[in-house]
Amino acid sequence: MKKSILYLIPFLFALSTSFNRHAADVVNYLNTGDTLTVNNQQYRLSWSSHPGTNYYKQEYLPARENPDRYKSMLMVDYLLIDTPAKYIVGVKINEIRERKKTDAVANFLVQKNEKNGEYLLDFIMSDGGGGKASVVELNAYHYKNYTDKAGHKGVLLFALSKRAYGNDVMPFLRNLKSERQNIIKTMAEASFPPVEVK
């Protein structure tokens, strides 16, 4: 188990923080297509990374969205490891619990679909550190075990991230209940994009 967790660290700590990323550097490692549509919103592949031999990460933004100050982002991560998704979810939960020690906003809720073994983890965090937050981020991470057409086994993450900045933070927090319900519903109903490692 300890060995598995070491391999999962990049995946677990892959928070949605896009800075200084350029479209010219994008490689579609997962063959998802250049665009994904969720809840009638189209997202275009904007950034990708292959930081380890068994780990792939791709991010998608609406048209004209600033990656350094996005309001909505989709993420698709694929970790090639033959382990139950619940272990990844568990370690991610421990990470959020640790963050709560320094982030008064941090909180989470996890749901398991007993029929298919998928997990939906929604969580919120900020940069406040006990003071006034200038950025608040709400995420819905949908996990499942997945095998691509080539037979690669792994854990697939399909996620939606929403952010508010500056003067928009407090209105965002006041509407958190409805925002949270919306993001959970969106990702619970959205189909995982088929992925295939190149």
Distance CA 160, CA 72 (A): 7
Complete domains list, the chain, with CATH:
2-189 (3.40.1000)
End-to-end CA distance of the chain: 28
pLDDT at 85: 96
**Helix ranges (DSSP H) in the chain:** 2-12, 85-99, 169-174, 176-189
Give pLDDT, residue 23.
53
pLDDT at 46: 95
What b/e sequence results for 87-103 when a residue is b if at least 16 CB atoms lie within 10 Å of its CB, and e otherwise?
Answer: bbbbbbbebbeebeeeb
Under 8 Å between Cβ of 92 and 12: yes
Res 21: pLDDT = 52
What predicted TM-score, i.e. pTM, was given to this entire model?
A: 0.88
> Which segments in the chain show pLDDT lower than 70?
1-24, 129-131
Neighbours of 156 (CB within 10 A): 23
pLDDT of residue 130: 60
